[in-house]
Every structure is written in C-alpha cells, then in structure tokens.
Chain A
C-alpha cells in the first residue's frame, strides 16, 4: 500500500534524524570532554563501525523511499500530502549534500591520521572537531525538519 511506503520513509528519516541528533547531543559534547588521544581513537572507531551495508541502506533509503511514495497513488489526500513529501526529500537531500561535502572528507582525514600519539592527537582533533560538529548540527536541524514534514504528510486528514 502506498501509505505503507510513506510510513517506511518516515521511519527511515526518523532513524537518520535521531542518529545526527545523538551525535549532536551526546557524542560530540561527550567525547569533546575526553583527552585528545581518546577523542581521536573513539571517533575513528565510530567512523569505522558506521560504514556497513545496513547503515548505508538506511542512509540512502531515507531519500529514496519518500521519493518513491511520490509516484504511487496516494488516494484522495494525495495532492495534500505531496508538497510535504517533496519538502522532506529536499531537506534530507541537503543533509546528504552536507555529508558528502564536509563530514565525509573530515572522516577521511581522521582515518588517514592512523594511530595517534599524545603528541600528534591535539592537531588531529583540532582539525576535525569544530567543523564536523557545526555541520552535523546543520544536518540534525534539516533532518528533524524532514521528519516533521513527513509526519504532516502521513497524518491522514480528518473525516
């Protein structure tokens, strides 16, 4: 059923929004308080772990599934739902752009630093933390807005 596809789209966007929010609210402030070497090593391990097929499916699915829903017959309310679905797709698309333009290159640099020492860690951390955190905050805001848009698209108009 088409609304099922839309519901799946909501769940995927919620997973991504909460993931970015988790980094904003717990990971970056928390690790930000640890020692430099611990910080770098922790971020490297997290980065390694997240690059797996299941996560990437969620990451891409959050974009693809709502767009698929656009092409399905959504019934009488379809026209009402459409602008909200499109808004969500644009908002989520923006987070993908940010990820590709900022976070992924920073992750690569972090990876390239390899095993850091107490001497090398501070510079690696300084090059990474503020920029990564700032743009992740942007992703959190945009992705949360996409979730809100999809909840509006999904909530069926009253009888």
Chain B
C-alpha cells in the first residue's frame, strides 16, 4: 500500500474513532447521566473524565486524527482536488474538534474536577451542575458535528478521482 493510501486510511480510522467517542457522549453518556441527581451526575462525570484523559485516547486517537489529516493533506499536494478536500477536513477537525475541546470543554472539565462533591451541600452541587451541564453540552454538539463533517469530507477526499486535476 502506498504512503498516500496508508495516511488516508490511518486518518480515517483515528478521525472515525474520535467521532465515535463524541457520538458516545452525545447519544449515551450525557443523556444518561443527565437523568441522575446533581451529586450523582457530578461524581459520574468526574470519574469518566478522569479516565478518558489517557495516553491511548488523547495521543494517538484524538490528536493523532488531526496530525494524520495534516500529513495526508501535505502528502497529496500534487493532487489539487484531493488536496483541497483534505485541507478542508483538516481545518474543520482542528478548529471544530481540537480547538473547541481545548478552549471549551477541557477548562470546564478541570473546573468541575476541582469540585468536592462529597463535602458539598445540595445547593452547591446544584449550582456546580447548572454552571457546567448546559454549556458543556452545547460545546459538545458543535464538536460532534464538526467531527462528523470532517470524517465525511475526508471520505469524499478518499474516493476523489486522482486523475482529474481540477
């Protein structure tokens, strides 16, 4: 398999997995723990957030998706159509998924991580949750859609005919 094809496959796999993790939170986790009491919600989110920051997910999968998209884009600089599409997929992923996460969700995660659930009052837990949940979910929809969009554009780039140059 050529380097180009390998990069496309690797990018699609890592971006695909990241998209699925976004989908997991969107479809199962946040709706599910959203039904818990305030303290239960906070404890559950804190525990899962602590685990997801691990070397397999953050490095190779989440950031790897971005790195591989950029590498694939550069590798295809001699194919104008594919190059353009890969560039778009890269931009959408870096801005819509990576930047939104780092500037939006992660600071909120860290703030919630500092909240001492066990020693909190009911009102404090309610306030902490209210401050967190709605805005986190809004940011999350943005990055989920961006991840899907990036994957779709990447897929289109993958089936683009390399023989046509414009």
Contacts and interface: CB of A to CB of B under 8 A. Distances in A.
B158 A156 contact: yes
Interface stretch (A6-14, A86-94, A95-103, A112-120): A6-14
Contacts of A42: 32-33, 36, 40, 44
Given A30-B48, A49-B31, A156-B158, A22 B16 contact: no
B19 A7 contact: no
Interface residues of B, number: 53
Given A144-B17, A154-B12, A156-B161, A18 B44 contact: no
A11 B149 CA distance: 10
Nearest to B151: A11
A11 B13 contact: no
Interface residues of A, number: 50
A23 B162 contact: no
A121 interface: no
A13 B23 CA distance: 12
Interface in A52-105: 52, 54-55, 58
Interface in B56-75: 56-57, 61
9 contacts: A6-B159, A19-B20, A22-B29, A41-B40, A45-B36, A46-B31, A46-B33, A49-B27, A147-B13
4 A-B pairs with least C-beta separation: A18-B20, A22-B24, A14-B16, A46-B32
Interface of B: 1-2, 4-5, 8-10, 12-13, 15-25, 27-29, 31-36, 40, 43-44, 47-52, 54, 56-57, 61, 148, 151-152, 155-156, 158-163
Given A16-B20, A151-B16, 20 more contacts: A3-B159, A7-B159, A11-B148, A14-B15, A14-B19, A14-B151, A18-B19, A18-B20, A25-B56, A26-B24, A26-B49, A26-B57, A33-B50, A42-B33, A45-B34, A46-B29, A49-B27, A50-B32, A55-B28, A144-B13
